[in-house]
């Protein structure tokens, strides 16, 4: 698909500079960035769907329990590093 974009000057300059830093054309860099962003969006939407299914099925943890578990994990890491 061919697409024409009119980018603001600052974004165009950044795109050209970053593309040059990675030995890419601005078009190739933009294509790569869009591909990655679309993948991230799909992964985020899938993770949200899993979370919503967990909630609907009653697979939840209270905030207090979650904080307690994180605190235990942090303390275990601190002990290992000591």
Q: Decide if 4 is inside a domain.
A: no
pLDDT at 53: 98
Residue 3 domain-assigned?
no
The answer to whether position 62 is within a domain reads yes
pLDDT score, position 52: 98
Total domains, the chain: 1
Q: Which residues contact 7 (CB under 8 A, 6 or more apart)?
A: 15
Domain that holds residue 52: 9-81
Cβ–Cβ < 8 Å for 15, 29: yes
Give the pLDDT confidence score for residue 23 in this predicted structure: 98
**Does a structural domain hold residue 39?**
yes
The string of pLDDT tens digits covering residues 23-75 is: 999 999 999 999 999 999 999 999 999 999 999 999 999 999 999 999 999 99
Instruction: Give the pLDDT band (50/70/90) at residue 20.
Output: very high
Q: Which residue has the tokens 């603001």?
A: 8
Confirm whether 70 is domain-assigned: yes
Separation CA 46–CA 39 (nearest Å): 11
pLDDT at 41: 98
Contacts of residue 15, defined as CB under 8 A and 6 or more positions apart, other chains included, come to 7, 26, 29, 30
For residue 45, tell me if it sits in a domain: yes
């Amino acid at each position: 698909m061919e697409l024409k974009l009119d980018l603001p000057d600052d974004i165009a300059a950044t795109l050209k500079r970053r593309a040059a830093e990675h030995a890419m054309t601005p078009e190739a860099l933009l294509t790569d960035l869009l591909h990655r962003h679309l993948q991230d969006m799909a992964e985020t939407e899938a993770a949200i769907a899993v979370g919503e299914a967990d909630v609907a099925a009653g697979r939840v943890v209270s905030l207090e329990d979650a904080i307690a578990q994180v605190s235990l994990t942090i303390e275990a890491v601190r002990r290992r590093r000591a």
